[in-house]
């Protein structure tokens, strides 16, 4: 009897060996789905665009996701610009209790507003099991929120040293053992709570916790944007950590890296591939045939550095399939070299688009000032 679901087998008894009685041998194969032994928790009190992007990538890989806090008022503080987030621990503490006795269930907690999946459950479970630990937290090169705890961290010869609570994975009883220690307020800091457990040598050893030092599972982008490169595979795109040569399963745009996560999310995992082009561009489209008055659309173009193919890009603005009377364009050009291209575009566009504003390099605006002017 071979039991593939548990990745082990029981040998066929000798008296039923194929040599003597082949007609009596039954090999029973049970189909196995990695998602059967994996449950993903996240917290989303509101369904933002970031949440929908996260769920789209989870659906692509067939993750089972349990969303906590739906409709609940957020009382966890003004993260990410300050400490806070304890409400997430409290919700996880409540949500995991019914799974706490399932010793073979692997539980993952991950943020959702600024996270995307880049790999599937089977890869995730394999990488987790290879760590030989009960709980694995994401690792970060930057310490937050208490730098005074830096000396308490174990020394790491290679890899990122500090804990990031935006993603962790472990067996359900062990995750439950951690979060059941929470007795603070919703606006207390979740990362500080997990950090104090990790830097306690006895607690770390008792629960068997480690960090994902080389971003095998979790990739945090804060302080690591330059490490992460796009890797185009057949039919999908991965993020590759070029320092450790790993392919992380989740990408977390923590801190001030949200815009870079947006860039990565334009490709990962299947938003755009060389084989299919854009696979999500036709989702959630507005049927304009049902609209009596077209929404006015302002297009902002910010040319902050020498940019190849700019004339072709500008020409394409004039071929958009949208009523030109409902379009307006704001252009900030910070490059003297492109002034000739902007001038040529203006000559074509001024009789097509009714509202065009162009700000040139002579204004000496920073990119932030230009974007604020555009708004």
Q: Hey, where are the domains in the chain?
A: 1-32, 34-208, 292-374
Phi-psi region of 132 (alpha: psi -120 to 50; beta: other; left: phi over 0): left
pLDDT tens by residue, 298-324: 999 999 999 999 999 999 999 998 999
State the maximum Cα–Cα separation within the chain, in Å, rounded to a whole number.
92
Q: What percent of the chain has pLDDT over 70?
A: 90
Contact 68, 92 (CB under 8 A): yes
pLDDT for res 351: 92
What tokens were used for 325?
A: 């009377």
Whole-number Å distance between alpha carbons of 236 and 135: 29
pLDDT for res 78: 81
pLDDT for res 36: 80
User: What is the 3-state composition of the chain as percent helix, strand, coil, each rounded to the nearest 5?
Assistant: 35, 25, 40
Question: From start to end of the chain, where are the E strands?
Answer: 2-3, 8-9, 38-43, 65-68, 106-110, 115-117, 135-140, 162-171, 209-212, 218-220, 228-233, 236-241, 250-252, 272-273, 277-278, 297-303, 327-333, 355-359
Average pLDDT score over residue span 102-128: 98
pLDDT for res 81: 60
pLDDT tens by residue, 166-218: 999 999 999 999 999 999 999 999 999 999 999 999 999 999 999 999 999 99
CATH topology of domain 34-208: Spore Coat Polysaccharide Biosynthesis Protein SpsA; Chain A (3.90.550)
């Amino acid at each position: 009897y071979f039991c593939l679901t548990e990745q082990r087998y029981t040998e066929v008894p000798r008296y039923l060996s194929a040599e003597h009685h082949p007609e009596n041998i039954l090999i029973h194969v049970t189909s196995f789905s990695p998602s059967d032994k994996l449950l993903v928790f996240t917290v989303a009190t509101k369904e933002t665009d970031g949440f929908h992007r996260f769920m789209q990538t989870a659906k692509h890989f067939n993750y089972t996701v349990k969303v906590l806090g739906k409709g609940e008022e957020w009382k966890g503080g003004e993260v990410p610009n300050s400490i806070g987030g304890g409400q997430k621990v409290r919700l996880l503490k409540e949500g995991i209790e019914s799974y706490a006795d399932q010793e073979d269930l692997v539980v993952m907690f991950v943020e959702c507003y600024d996270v995307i999946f880049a790999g599937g459950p089977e890869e995730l479970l394999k990488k987790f099991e290879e760590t030989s630990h009960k709980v694995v937290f994401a690792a970060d090169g930057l310490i937050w929120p208490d730098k005074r705890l830096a000396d308490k961290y174990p020394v790491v010869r290679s890899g990122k040293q500090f804990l990031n609570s935006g993603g962790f994975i472990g067996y359900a009883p062990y995750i439950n053992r951690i979060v059941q220690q929470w007795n603070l307020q919703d606006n207390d800091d979740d990362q500080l709570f997990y950090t104090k457990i990790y830097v306690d040598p006895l607690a770390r050893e008792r629960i068997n916790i480690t960090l994902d030092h080389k971003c095998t599972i979790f990739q945090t982008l804060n302080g690591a944007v330059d490490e992460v490169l796009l890797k185009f595979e057949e039919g999908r795109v991965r993020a590759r950590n070029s320092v450790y040569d790993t392919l992380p399963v989740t990408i977390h745009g923590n801190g001030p890296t949200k815009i870079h996560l947006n860039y990565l999310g334009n490709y990962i995992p299947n938003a755009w591939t060389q084989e299919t082009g854009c696979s999500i561009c036709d989702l959630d489209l507005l049927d304009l045939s049902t609209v009596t008055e077209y929404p006015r659309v302002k297009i902002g173009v910010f040319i902050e550095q020498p940019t190849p193919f700019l004339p072709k890009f500008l020409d394409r603005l004039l071929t958009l399939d949208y009523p030109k009377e409902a379009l307006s364009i704001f252009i900030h050009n910070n490059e003297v070299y492109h002034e000739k291209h902007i001038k040529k575009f203006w000559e074509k566009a001024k009789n097509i688009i009714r509202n065009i504003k162009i700000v040139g390099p002579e204004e000496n605006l920073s990119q932030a000032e230009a974007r604020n002017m555009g708004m």
